[in-house]
Structure 1
């Protein structure tokens, strides 16, 4: 059975804009912004027709044409070019950015001191390494002594 029962669906059918129409409107809007609201002289007939349609949509009923209401929530987004963004970028860093930079610098200073062996952790690491080296040297000497003893016993057994 259809969506609305026996009588059918009562709502409006959806209308989709075709891509060419959207492109045409976008081009007309860009040209209007570039020329400061003036209509371009060398635009094609189709662009002029679409701009006429837009003028009809912009005409307001009754008193709306006389009163201009500025809604702060309805701000049109203007695309900024990269040089404009860089020029208008604030020179001051935010608190989070400053803290992040300070943290990185502190970490770099600590690593530098650590590599030089001036921090307590570096001293503890070096002491631990010295103990481990000493233990390994002793173990290597014991292995060497055992190997020599085995060689001596092997030469005695052959005789």
Structure 2
């Protein structure tokens, strides 16, 4: 039977890279991450440079990488930040909920300020209602005073 079963073999055989090549690629990548603008010094590493340049050229030639520069964020190693490097004094970005909560509190404070000044519709209605109640109480107090005076006068007439 042919390779791949009844349907036949499709595709190429798998090619595995050797560990030395992988180590060289990792070293070159770390150097680029650490010193992206620094120029390399010609020394004993010239063989490594030529081989890494060949690898970069061959890597750029294959697929779309020759046409479009692709930066894979997953390929770069994630560097963990140390506690000493963290900037505690920097302002922290607020989440959407926190921003909305702050805006809600500010709007409530503005409304209460306007309400106390009597500029809102509800405050005007409350003041009008209070004015009506005050007037009714004053009228009731006058009536009571008049009734009291009438009683006093009636009592004083009765005593005489």
Q: Which TM-score bucket, shorter chain as reference?
A: 0.3 to 0.5
TM-score for both structures, normalised by structure 1: 0.45
Q: Which has the larger radius of gyration?
A: 2
